[in-house]
Structure 1
Amino acid sequence: MQRAAAPSRVYYADNAPPPPEPPVRGRLWRVLGGLSVVLSVALVAGSLTAYGFWRRLDGQIDREHVEGRLGENRPPKLNSSLNILLMGSDSRAGENARYGEEAGQRSDTTILLHISPGGESAIGISFPRDSMVQMPPCKRKNGTTVPAQFGMINAAFSNGGPACTWRTIESLTKIHIDHYVEVDFAGFKRVVDALGGVEICVPRRIDDPKAELHLRAGRQVVHGDQALGYVRTRYVLGDGSDLDRIKRQQAFMASVVKKATDKGMLTDPGRTYDFLSAATKSIKADDRLTLSVMQKLAGSLRGMSAGKVRFVTVPVQAYPQDKNRVQFDQALAEPLFKAVREDNKLPDPAPATPVPAQNAVQPVPPEQVRVGVFNASGETGLAQRTADQLGERGYRVVKVGSSKKKYSRTMILYGAGAERQAARLAIAVPGHPPRPWRSARPGYVYLVIGNDGARLRGLKAAVPKLAGEIRADRDICART
């Protein structure tokens, strides 16, 4: 007789059942039209789908090939979420010369925008520019290499441009980044003006000639130069720290998202086009952020509301060698990064579990359930991560594998004598009523994960709440 596995251990039996291939009716997925642009100040989805419209917008984006400069040992792509690195450049070239002379350019703002599978929610993670981090070696456009070094995180941009910042963030978080978007000062102003201005709230009257910033106290709408001065000023608002400025920038971006997702704007084709045209003229992106990718992104984001978008800052602590610098608080930062890496949450909520009848099958304890977990969704690593979660709950995972066929719906199947075991698994993975399968091995249960996922009861893949986080639907004058 086999011994029950320890709660966190996963077994792989040599005689475990093969991936099941039962006849299942597939489901056709409708491709939703829409549009979206993601940049350092906005995330928006609309309903215009004309190909010519997309082509005009696509042709306005300045693109750069960076793939060959991201290194070979990149984090794997674990799910269908989308991670976009948003960078605000402090370049003084061209239209930006009026903001003073400064050699080179740095990432004035660095945000990792994470969009959950299916566009269910989004979170922007800010990386303080004063963070002291280990940066990997980076290749420049001219082929030369900048050696690995320890320093402020925003130096990565000056070392090797967006590709170096991209590689640095991946090395620090182990999160696979899909694309990058960069915007400079002039581009930022164009986008804000195209929105018709953005609402802010300041605690007192502000007069800062250096930042060209003059604001009255309270709620108000800012445009162009005033908006730029508001997000950049460091000493006339707050305590002068970069962390305090980040909170102000996040509040501003939350207001932008709220404005950009406003129904009045999205139902006005003229306003929508003006905004998107200004945005695409203002950004630089990687060459893999193609027209088809943007259209696919638009479809997944259709219906995104401000309440589903939030902004957080990577948890940091004082850097002992310099009071003006900070370092990541790994004990708090790693759970944040892990949640983003393993976000398998899908757009459709799990159906409510029906109340069992009086003669319902009585489930056995988890340690008596021998289960094979098979990936039929095509999403890399989903079966293993689900198996690990089941193992942590005491289930005896005897096999992890992939199904040759792909299915739209997740199934719980069981062999002869395993009805009670299947009933227990259905409690852990609600919304998928168990059913017998004649070809199943007696005593075994099969979890076949389809496109609708396998969300375990009580386990939420959502990024944990952090102190000071800002939701995009908040009152702009509310304290954070």
Structure 2
Amino acid sequence: MLLVGGGGAAWLYHDLVGGIEQEHVTDKLGTDRPKKLNRSLNILLVGSDTREGDNARYGVGMTGARSDTTILLHLSPNRDQAVGISFPRDSMVKIPACKKEKGGTVPEQFGMLNAAFAYAGPTCTWKTLESLTGIHIDHFVQVDFAGFKRMVDALGGVEICVDKPVNDPRAELHLKAGKQTVKGEEALGYVRARYSLGDGSDLERIERQQKFMAAVVDKATSGSVLTDPAKTYKFLKAATKSMTTDDDLDLAAMRKLADGLKGMSAGQVRFVTVPVERYAPDPNRVQWNEELAKPLFEAIRHDDELPAQTTNPAQGQPAPLAPGKVHVTIVDAGGRDALVNRVANQLRQRGFKVAEKVEKADATPASRLVYAPSAEAQATALARDVPDALLTADTAAPQDGVRLVIGKNGVRLAAPAINKIGGGVKAGRKLCD
């Protein structure tokens, strides 16, 4: 989808769309879905390990298919940022009841994430992620092994970096140390290998895949792939030959997406992994860390578009204070202890200078941000993250900070902005650094 954005080859789409297999999804997803809150676009990207057709050589005698790679690609409302969230296939999750493509229903169950795809195809993975994240997903795109190889070859290969030579006959992977360009079988082996590269875990493989995808973005945006119609057509032809999408991702939707992505550069694309922790019953599996994952999901859900008119700080409006310059004292005035402690920890994680000691006060019905006039800038900065607390100026308040008084109604932290999501792999980085 990112590569479609700068191609300038919309007139070729009619020829390309005919090669895409489409699947009807509406009746399979049901009506109990997360609401779409803004103009952001969320696309489920699935790498299938099917052994059918051109993929038969990768598993003689193997049947069925699972989601070898699962990524939720978030495109901000203004199409100025993209974040890809990887979900480990070994995640233990609750899979909702799903309708099969050829009839019948798979009952609700608990199991590995990639089993959802095996049970009832990409719509079951779609339904599972929506139910777990609360994020509305707009479309899905599925590509198999053969399609992946063709796309990499159409780019002329992708540059990678390995710290030592690799000789892995099982993965058909033989690499020298250092920077090199991989194509076809080598590229597929590089992103799928589990035992000759890294520690053998799925999490390490995800990080390697994210670096590879970042390199793909770099190759596409820095070279002539997006400016040369012939090269663009070659890539898109390779992609659509082994692609399955939902039936709503039609020609008009692709054109609209393409128009919105034309100005996006590699540095505006990042890949992160959903926070996970050890799954106690089975050390070979993981489970999501809900406390850390929730803010990530909320940030994706609430990534509202920027206002039409933005104020330029250089034109007299001071830039908002950074969290590190905001000193916060938390006052418990009737809030629940668990909530008070959680708010304190989350504000520290966001960079605010929160006092270690929580003060006590008589219970009040509503939460407030109490500040002296001299600390108005600090209060304004904190109010962005604590929108429910009433801003209250008080000349008797301390001059050097803000008091967050948590009353009986509690307090809710706003989702962190997409551009504040840290970690992960960012496109535009240098290899071997």
Normalising by structure 1, we get a TM-score of 0.69
Distance of aligned partners of 1:366 and 1:252 in 2 relative to their CA distance in 1, 3 Å threshold? same
Q: Moved runs in structure 1, 4+ residues, more than 6 A?
A: 387-390
The Cα shift of 1:269 comes to 1.6
Residue equivalent to 2:203: 243
1:470 equivalenced with 2:425 (yes/no): yes
Describe the superposition over 1:63-103 as per-residue Cα deviations: whole angstroms up to 9, x where unpaired.
Answer: 11111101221000100000000000000001101001322
Task: Please identify, of 305-314 and 134-143, the stretch whose mean Cα deviation from structure 2 is larger.
Answer: 134-143
Q: Which of 381, 390, 394 is residue 394 of structure 1 equivalent to? A: 390
Distance of aligned partners of 1:188 and 1:459 in 2 relative to their CA distance in 1, 3 Å threshold? closer
Distance of aligned partners of 1:321 and 1:345 in 2 relative to their CA distance in 1, 3 Å threshold? same
Higher helix share: 2
Give the letter for the 2:427 counterpart: A
Describe the superposition over 1:15-42 as per-residue Cα deviations: whole angstroms up to 9, x where unpaired.
Answer: xxxxxxxxxxxxxxxxxxxxxx35xxxx
Describe the superposition over 1:429-462 as per-residue Cα deviations: whole angstroms up to 9, x where unpaired.
Answer: xxxxxxxxxxxxxxxxxxxxxxxxxxxxx99621
Distance of aligned partners of 1:309 and 1:50 in 2 relative to their CA distance in 1, 3 Å threshold? closer
1:345 equivalenced with 2:301 (yes/no): no
After superposition, where does 1:62-101 map in structure 2 within 5 Å?
62-100=21-59, 101=61
Q: How far, CA to CA, are the matches of 2:190 and 2:221 in structure 1? A: 22
Q: How far, CA to CA, are the matches of 1:263 and 1:207 in structure 2? A: 31
What runs of 5+ residues in structure 1 fail to find an aligned partner?
A: 1-36, 357-364, 368-386, 397-457
Residue equivalent to 1:355: 316
1:252 equivalenced with 2:248 (yes/no): no
Task: Please identify, of 76-85 and 257-266, the stretch whose mean Cα deviation from structure 2 is larger.
Answer: 257-266
Give the letter for the 1:106 counterpart: R
Q: How far, CA to CA, are the matches of 1:111 and 1:297 in structure 2? A: 18
Normalising by structure 2, we get a TM-score of 0.76
Residue equivalent to 2:364: none
Q: Which of 264, 276, 286 is residue 326 of structure 1 equivalent to? A: 286
The Cα shift of 1:282 comes to 2.2
Residue equivalent to 2:174: 214
Distance of aligned partners of 1:266 and 1:98 in 2 relative to their CA distance in 1, 3 Å threshold? same
Q: Which of 122, 138, 143 is residue 162 of structure 1 equivalent to? A: 122
The Cα shift of 1:206 comes to 0.5
| Mapped contact 1:116–1:346 kept (Cα < 8 A) | no
Q: How far, CA to CA, are the matches of 1:261 and 1:330 in structure 2? A: 35
Distance of aligned partners of 1:320 and 1:258 in 2 relative to their CA distance in 1, 3 Å threshold? same
Q: Which of 230, 234, 250 is residue 194 of structure 2 equivalent to? A: 234
The Cα shift of 1:324 comes to 0.5
| Mapped contact 1:251–1:476 kept (Cα < 8 A) | no
* Equivalent residues, number: 350
1:115 equivalenced with 2:75 (yes/no): yes
Describe the superposition over 1:99-148 as per-residue Cα deviations: whole angstroms up to 9, x where unpaired.
Answer: 01322110000000000012110000000011000110000012201000
Aligned with 1:261: secondary structure? helix
What runs of 5+ residues in structure 2 fail to find an aligned partner?
A: 318-367, 371-382, 393-413
Q: Which of 2, 7, 19 is residue 60 of structure 1 equivalent to? A: 19
Give the letter for the 1:64 counterpart: E
Q: How far, CA to CA, are the matches of 1:118 and 1:279 in structure 2? A: 26
Residue equivalent to 2:417: 461
Give the letter for the 1:196 counterpart: G
Aligned with 1:190: secondary structure? helix
The Cα shift of 1:157 comes to 0.1
The Cα shift of 1:246 comes to 0.4
After superposition, where does 1:59-458 map in structure 2 within 5 Å?
59-100=18-59, 101-346=61-306, 350-353=310-313, 354-355=315-316, 391-392=387-388, 394=390
| Mapped contact 1:45–1:261 kept (Cα < 8 A) | no
Residue equivalent to 2:329: none
The Cα shift of 1:262 comes to 2.0
Aligned with 2:249: secondary structure? coil
Greater RCO, 1 or 2 (C-alpha within 8 Å, sep 6+): 1
Percent identity reads 58
Distance of aligned partners of 1:463 and 1:112 in 2 relative to their CA distance in 1, 3 Å threshold? farther
Describe the superposition over 1:128-182 as per-residue Cα deviations: whole angstroms up to 9, x where unpaired.
Answer: 0110001100000122010000010000001100010000000010000000000
